[in-house]
Amino acid sequence: MKILGLMLLCLAATAAPAQTNQSWKVCRNPVRVFKGQATVDLTPLFQWWARQPQVATNRTAPTNTDTDPGAAADRPLSAWARVTGIQLSTSGDSWVLNAVIYTSPTVCTNARIILNHPPAVEEQTYETLKEQVAEAGRESAEAQRVYEVSTNAQAKALMSFQAYSHSQSKHRLDAERDYGALAAQDQAAAAAALSQIHQLEAARAELELQLKTIPAVNGTYQVDWFAVLLGHTKQGLPIYDLGLVSASPP
């Protein structure tokens, strides 16, 4: 029961709209904040990205490297790229990724990289939502069990009520009263369980919509963010930096 109340409060405050034609937005949160409070606005890059040919990509990392020499002719913010991949390990506060680096929607290379300012909060949000979906499913299954038990019990009580109604037993009136009360109680329990099922299923559907707005592959969170190549390495790996996400423009 507790998860339903918590989820409904959460959904009222943070429910995300469903995406169309894709499960999450690639171009999101354009304003990034760096050391010294310097900000970068990726809106020009996002606008350029949207104008390019869009093709379906293998989110588990393509094995080929595409090239398109003319694609970057008017591309702004050339040091920034779309970085996708699954976290392999950590290096301090950074993540080590087996990444696919997209310089345009159709041009990509594979690389193992270090990602500064990784999206740990988004990852945790994904895991929390996934657990809430699972918990809603468990509670819905339990409510379904209660509904079926209560419905069956109501039917039996009504059968006993009807049997005594047609009998000549001296206890007929008492039995009718008792079985009638039992039938009413079972009916109320079944109605409450059915209402809970509807609420839980609605909550689960909303949570699943929120899950779809967060990058994931086969139930595992995946990084899918624009990050900047810093131009130096650590442990022999190139370093990218996502920056701190800002909700407001610079």
How does DSSP assign 51-74, residue by residue?
Answer: HS------TT--SS----TTTTTT
Q: CA distances (Å), 133 to each of 20, 182, 222, 237, in order?
A: 21, 34, 18, 37
- Which pLDDT belongs to residue 54? 80
Say which residues have a Cβ less than 8 Å from residue 176's Cβ, sequence separation at least 6: 161, 164, 165
Residue 3 has which token pair?
A: 């998860």
Which uninterrupted H or E stretch holds 115? strand 107-116
CA distance linking residue 23 with residue 26, whole number of Å:
9
- Which pLDDT belongs to residue 184? 93
- Which pLDDT belongs to residue 33? 95
- Which pLDDT belongs to residue 246? 77
- Which pLDDT belongs to residue 81? 98
Measured torsion, CA atoms of residues 42, 126, 215, 199, in degrees rounded to the nearest 10? -110
Closest listed residue to residue 227, CA positions, set 140, 138, 101, 55: 101
- Which pLDDT belongs to residue 83? 98
Residue 223 has which token pair?
A: 């990084």
Would you say 19 and 25 are in contact if contact means Cβ atoms under 8 Å apart?
yes
Q: What are the per-10-residue average pLDDT scores of the chain (250 residues)? A: 46 33 84 91 97 65 47 86 96 96 96 97 97 97 97 92 80 85 94 97 96 94 97 96 78
